[in-house]
Amino acid sequence: MKNLLDKIILGDTLEILKKMDSDSVDLGVTSPPYNKQENKKGWLVSNVKYNKVSDKKDEMGYQDEQIAVLNELYRVMKPGGSFFYNHKIRWEQGVLIHPMSWLSKTDWTIRQEIIWDRMIAANIRGWRFWQTDEKIYWLYKPTKNKKIGEELLSKHALLTSIWRFSPERNNPHPAPFPVLLPLRCIYSLLDDKKDAVIIDPYMGSGSTAIAAKLLNHNFIGIDISQEYINLAQERLDNLQRYAELLEEEKKKHIVRKTFKERKEKGEFTGKFKKNSICSINNKKLTTSNILASLFD
């Protein structure tokens, strides 16, 4: 396992994953090719075409491949580990294709759907409202006795399930996600821990590797394109260029008082105490009266 750390392996994702040890990875982040049929214009490029791989596959074959990759990732993940999977809703000839079509068939527990608001300029025409969001699925490998997983620290949970940052500019990869995305995933779950193993099975231009190293972790990357591996390595060689992104992100993970501290001091925690008094339309009502009025 140690000989894989901090390397991007050239080859087919599924075949390489099959050779990896079970229960050996702490966390992962990726964005696979979307199977956009190479006919969908993107914001940064005229159309999305990858080096060395086709993004134009039979849809059911594509979904079966993603299920197989995700199940191998589940196997290599340690119990209690998480994987963040970035994808989007697509349409083909008016038919909606949702990532849940295949995610629900994998071994993973789907812990949360996060909305990535890409904050891109709107279009002035189209067949539906201009789609500016993508999805990030937080997938979880349960431990024997804890399917729900560990509770997030307050400073991370406060960020909500809608994440707003723009796609990365000036990146020659046709569909990169910004370094901020894996930074948030990794930091929110691992906090100030170090030396975890972070995997990205579709490494692309290396954003996950950059985030991992900024946070003092190891990474394992896989990509089928030597061109993209060279691009990722070039970016890793200039790691300090991205240091300010880490500082920018950490400033968003701050709370004055945690939920636990508020609860211990009897301060407001967002929940009414039994028979507490509140004011609605200038009338004082007990909690029980409020509930009674709702169902009257």
Answer yes or no: do 276 and 206 share one domain: no
| pTM attached to this predicted model | 0.83
Answer yes or no: do 136 and 280 share one domain: no
Answer yes or no: do 85 and 220 share one domain: yes
Three-state DSSP class for residue 241: helix
Answer yes or no: do 279 and 246 share one domain: no
Annotate 61-84 with three-state secondary structure: HHHHHHHHHHHHHHHHEEEEEEEE
Tell me if 201 is assigned to some domain. yes
Per the structure, the complete domain to which residue 128 belongs is given by: 2-255
Answer yes or no: do 93 and 133 share one domain: yes
Answer yes or no: do 236 and 288 share one domain: no
176 burial class (0-12, 13-18, 19+ CB within 10 angstroms)? Answer: buried
Answer yes or no: do 251 and 280 share one domain: no
* Residue 138 or residue 291, greater confidence: 138
Tell me if 17 is assigned to some domain. yes
Answer yes or no: do 198 and 285 share one domain: no
What domain count does the chain have?
2
Answer yes or no: do 230 and 293 share one domain: no
Nearest of 202, 257, 194, 200 to residue 225 by alpha carbon: 202
Query: What values do phi and psi take at 230, rounded to 5?
Result: -65, -40
Tell me if 260 is assigned to some domain. no
Tokens of 276: 């507490």
258-283 tens-digit pLDDT: 767 777 778 766 665 555 444 444 54
16-36 tens-digit pLDDT: 999 999 999 999 999 999 887
pLDDT at 48: 54
Tokens of 168: 């990365």
CA distances from 258 to 163, 229, 237, 262 (A): 21, 42, 38, 6
Tell me if 261 is assigned to some domain. no
Tell me if 245 is assigned to some domain. yes
pLDDT at 276: 47
Give the mean pLDDT of 197-222: 97
Tell me if 178 is assigned to some domain. yes
Tell me if 12 is assigned to some domain. yes
Tell me if 263 is assigned to some domain. no
Answer yes or no: do 137 and 272 share one domain: no
pLDDT at 269: 63
